[in-house]
A = this chain, B = another copy of it.
Amino acid sequence: MDSVWFGKPRPSSGQPLGLSREAIVRKAMEVLDEHGMQKLSMRKLAAELGAAPMSLYWHVPTKDALIELCLDEVYGEFDLPGPDDDWETAVRGMMHSLRHLALKHPWWVRGIGEFNSIGPNAVAMADSMFEPMLRAGLSMAAAAQSISTISSFVVGYAIAEVNFISRGGMDSPPPDLAKIADLYREKHPHYVAMLGEQEIWSLEGQFEFGLNCVIDGIKARVVALR
């Protein structure tokens, strides 16, 4: 009786509706790229997919799991080095690729600190970093140390970079920094002086400088380690 209240019992239900883990992850990535992690909510995501909130939970166990899937998806965009590249060009290429990922997906760099990166793509990336170094004759330990050092630099730099960009971009210096400069001019003159230096705001150049430093340092020590 009640259930035949009118016509079809429920106007909206069980149609196929393209929901799938991949579709959800894809849409989630769009939201993340556009609005960042704070703004991602299961409910809004479901709405954008034309589904009810709880429908997502059939394909994904939890929100954190979904985020880990998204993080790993970004690792999947990593550019693997060519199989014949020598040690240094392989490393340089990988590190540029890493930075590129960070700039494309700021939420990703910010998030790698809060989640474990042990998805298949993350592991594949890590593995691929070893290949050229071992091929060049480094010991496992030396390769691990080198990789850890270089990618630590790149990740740290990328975090600072996306932070700086999201604060105001390339308008060297961004508007809100002007007030800060006034605030601290007397107490911390070096800092304020630095804010005024034009050349410093070349993020590209700074990255290259740092990468060169790190690679040089490693080259020098890696000989000792063989």
Contact = CB atoms under 8 A, between A and B. Distances in A.
A62 interface: no
Interface size class of A (residues with CB under 8 A): 35 or more
Interface stretch (A26-34, A49-57, A148-156): A148-156
A210 B152 contact: yes
A123 B180 contact: yes
Number of copies: 2
Interface string A106-140: 00011011101110100110110011001000001
A188 B156 contact: no
A25 interface: no
A193 interface: yes
A157 interface: yes
Given A113-B109, A148-B206, A157-B148, A140 B212 contact: no
Contacts of A162: 113
B209 A213 contact: no
A2 interface: no
Nearest to A129: B190
Given A126-B191, A127-B188, A217-B214, A110 B114 contact: yes
Given A140-B200, A152-B160, 13 more contacts: A123-B180, A123-B191, A126-B188, A126-B191, A127-B184, A127-B187, A127-B188, A134-B190, A140-B194, A141-B199, A141-B200, A149-B209, A217-B217
13 contacts: A123-B184, A124-B187, A127-B188, A127-B189, A144-B200, A145-B200, A148-B206, A159-B159, A213-B217, A213-B218, A213-B220, A217-B217, A217-B220
